[in-house]
Structure formats: C-alpha cells, structure tokens
Amino acid sequence: MEYKTSWASPSNIALIKYWGKKKGGVQLPANPSISFTLSNCKTTTFLKFIEGTKFDVSVSLEQVDTPSFIPKIEQFLERIKSIFPFVMNGSYEINTSNSFPHSSGIASSASGMSALALCICDIASKKGLLDSGKFFQTASILSRLGSGSASRSVFGPLGVWGEHPDFKGSSDDFAISYNNVSPIFKSYCDTILLVHKGQKIVSSSVGHDLVDNHPFAIARFRQANQNMSAIKSALESADIDRFIDIIESEALILHSLMMSSNPYFILMKPDTLNIINAIWQKRKKSNVKWCFTLDAGANVHFLYPSEDKEMAHQFIEDELKEYCENGAFIHDFVGSGPEKIT
C-alpha cells in the first residue's frame, strides 16, 4: 500500500530556553520552555511510504540526495515504533526543503522533525490508527522523539513544553499551545539576522549532553522554572520591559552555559556581539521596545512589535545589515503553526 502526504511546519524561537535533558527518559526536558512559533521560517516535507516492502529510507534536501540525514531518521523511526509499529514495515522517500539555512541556529531540526512527525501522523490517520482529536498532541510526542524543541513547533502562536504548575496541561511528553497572551505578542515580529549561515561547530544534541555534569545545572533549572512564571505574567499583561529583561537574560544564559561546560565552546561570532550592542544602544538612545534573543548558534533574532515594523526595518538596513553574512536576514513574525500541503 502506498501513502503520500506533505506538511509544512515552522521553526520556533525559544523565549525561555530548553538546555539539558532528564536522565532515564527519551528526550525529556530538564526544564520547561516557551517559544514563539514562527511563520516564514519553515520546513516543507513530502513523504512517500510504501508499506509492506523492505525497510529503506532515502532523503533529499533541496532536491539533493542527503544520505547523512538517514541515521537520524532511522533513529527517529526506531523510537516511535512503540507508538506506530507500522513505521518499520516499509520504505520511505522523503523530500524536504527549508526556507532558511540548515543547521545554522534557526531550529532546523525543530521544523524538520515536526514536519516529518506530522506526515507520519497523517499516514496513521489514513490507516485509522489515530483519532483527529489526538492528532496534534501525538504529532508533538513524535516530534519530541526526533528533536526536543520540535514538540513546540506543532502549535502556535506560542508553544510550551515541559511540566510547569503555572501552565495548565503542560507536560514533559508533549507541548501545548499557549495563546493567553496580550494581542501585541500574537503579532510580534522577528527578523533573523544571519551572522553565520554555515553549520555549527557543536550540535545542539551534543550541547544538551554536556549539561549532565555542568556545575551550574541545578541552579539553571531552578531559574528557568522561575522565569517561566515571570514571562507568563509579562505576556499576559503586555509588560514589554519585563519581557525584554527576561528573554535577553535567557539568551545570554544559554550561551554562558555553553562557554562554561566541559569541554567548553562558543557559538557566537564577533558580529553577534556587534548586533547585540547596536540594539542596546538604539534602545537606550531612542527608547524603543526592541530586543534580541539567540538560539544555539551565532544568528540573532531581532524582536519588535509589529507596529514598529517600518522603523525597525530601516534600522536593520542602516545599522545591522552590515554585520550579517552577505547582508542576509529573514523577516518573520509569530505564526499559527503547521499547514497540511497535500
């Protein structure tokens, strides 16, 4: 039996960072996290599954055969076979494309694994194995087993992953949608300033593992839980000043954990710091409510209210573009989540 399906799933940018995994589980977070779901930065995946044939996986990225992806996808299928045993009984042809540079710190694994998980759930639905009411929760569970932060990409406008008493229904096993926020945050803008479009020197999965023996791990997990409560209040009350304080601190804490792990490593580049300083100077000089966050990479997510879009775009052209590789950046905004293509 042949099945075909395709989904587009967005990237996300964490506001409270997930960094570190619980021991004794598979892809369970050591602390809860919350993210903006993006709109333009997404992965589109076309999947053809022929059931009953010899198990085989072929993958292409941007229409180029990419066998280096196969081990990760095979590991993913092995992890989810307890949920859907049929996944090991057939061959896969996966064609995927990104609207942004792969492995450059724009959560390509989040959008990529969630897109694949949605395709698998679509096939399960066609086979009568998945009720529509559980579709997205199951897709989030599957996504998590491929890439932890991918669990959040299944939902918009914000996704919460990891159990926390202030977020009803939150779980370590799957993410939930969170939209009890001020309207200003539902249309927030995020311009990703591409400081470095190449592959990272240290993958996020390796970085997570290094937290196991990190001297600051316990204090960091406690802090992340406290910041979840604080940002919930800021998002609901439209307290942008508090929002800025929390997310910029979280970004710098994430990278400080990398720089103080063993072995230590640095993913920021000199122009990452140049952009941060330019944003700080602009905020001080002009009293604008603009800020930054970072993911696990050198690129900078420049965040600002949609009402400031025109002025912020001019600031990018005048002062930030010069720090981007080949002047490259991506304008994005908070989105509603994945989209079924076929």
Asked if residue 41 has pLDDT above 90, the reply is yes
- Give the C-alpha separation, 29 to 148, whole Å: 7
Based on the structure, what is the number of domains in the chain?
2
- Give the C-alpha separation, 3 to 50, whole Å: 6
Shared domain for 201 and 178, answered yes or no, is: no
Binning pLDDT at 50, 70 and 90, where does residue 65 land?
very high
Instruction: Identify the three-state secondary structure at position 296.
Output: coil
Does residue 338 fall inside a structural domain? no
Shared domain for 315 and 197, answered yes or no, is: yes
Does residue 118 fall inside a structural domain? yes
- Taking CA 267 as the corner, what is the angle to CA 265 and CA 328, rounded to the nearest 5 degrees? 165
Shared domain for 160 and 274, answered yes or no, is: no
What is the length of the chain?
342
Shared domain for 31 and 155, answered yes or no, is: yes
Range with the poorest average pLDDT among 34-48, 80-94, 105-119, 174-188: 105-119
pTM for the structure as a whole: 0.96
Binning pLDDT at 50, 70 and 90, where does residue 24 land?
confident
- Taking CA 155 as the corner, what is the angle to CA 240 and CA 294, rounded to the nearest 5 degrees? 50
Does residue 74 fall inside a structural domain? yes
Asked if residue 66 has pLDDT above 80, the reply is yes
Does residue 312 fall inside a structural domain? yes
- Tokens found for residue 22: 């619980």
- Give the C-alpha separation, 107 to 270, whole Å: 21
Query: Do 110 and 150 contact (CB within 8 A), yes or no?
Result: yes
Binning pLDDT at 50, 70 and 90, where does residue 34 land?
very high
Query: Do 295 and 258 contact (CB within 8 A), yes or no?
Result: no
Closest CA to 246 of 14, 16, 13: 16
Binning pLDDT at 50, 70 and 90, where does residue 200 land?
confident
Domain that holds residue 153: 2-182
Binning pLDDT at 50, 70 and 90, where does residue 104 land?
low
Last residue of a domain, one of 150, 182, 214: 182
Does residue 279 fall inside a structural domain? yes
Shared domain for 317 and 175, answered yes or no, is: no
At 50, which CATH number?
Answer: 3.30.230.10
Shared domain for 130 and 50, answered yes or no, is: yes
Residues 6+ apart with CB under 8 A from 257: 19, 211, 214, 216, 220
- The overall average pLDDT reported for the chain is 96
- Tokens found for residue 207: 């970085």
Shared domain for 269 and 160, answered yes or no, is: no
Shared domain for 128 and 78, answered yes or no, is: yes
Asked if residue 202 has pLDDT above 90, the reply is no
Q: Are strands 56-61 and 90-98 parallel, antiparallel or unpaired?
A: parallel
Asked if residue 101 has pLDDT above 80, the reply is no
Closest CA to 155 of 129, 176, 133: 176
Which comes out higher in pLDDT, residue 72 or 106? 72
Instruction: Identify the three-state secondary structure at position 61.
Output: strand
Last residue of a domain, one of 182, 216, 249: 182
Shared domain for 199 and 174, answered yes or no, is: no
- Give the C-alpha separation, 192 to 8, whole Å: 19
Last residue of a domain, one of 165, 182, 199: 182
Asked if residue 102 has pLDDT above 70, the reply is no
Does residue 89 fall inside a structural domain? yes
200-207: average pLDDT:
86
At 292, which CATH number?
Answer: 3.30.70.890
Shared domain for 156 and 259, answered yes or no, is: no
Shared domain for 161 and 241, answered yes or no, is: no
Give the other-Cβ count within 10 Å of 235's Cβ: 24
pLDDT 10s digits, 139-165: 999 999 999 999 999 999 999 999 999
Does residue 341 fall inside a structural domain? no
The pLDDT value recorded for residue 269 is 97
pLDDT 10s digits, 287-315: 999 999 999 999 999 999 999 999 999 99
Shared domain for 43 and 129, answered yes or no, is: yes
Does residue 340 fall inside a structural domain? no
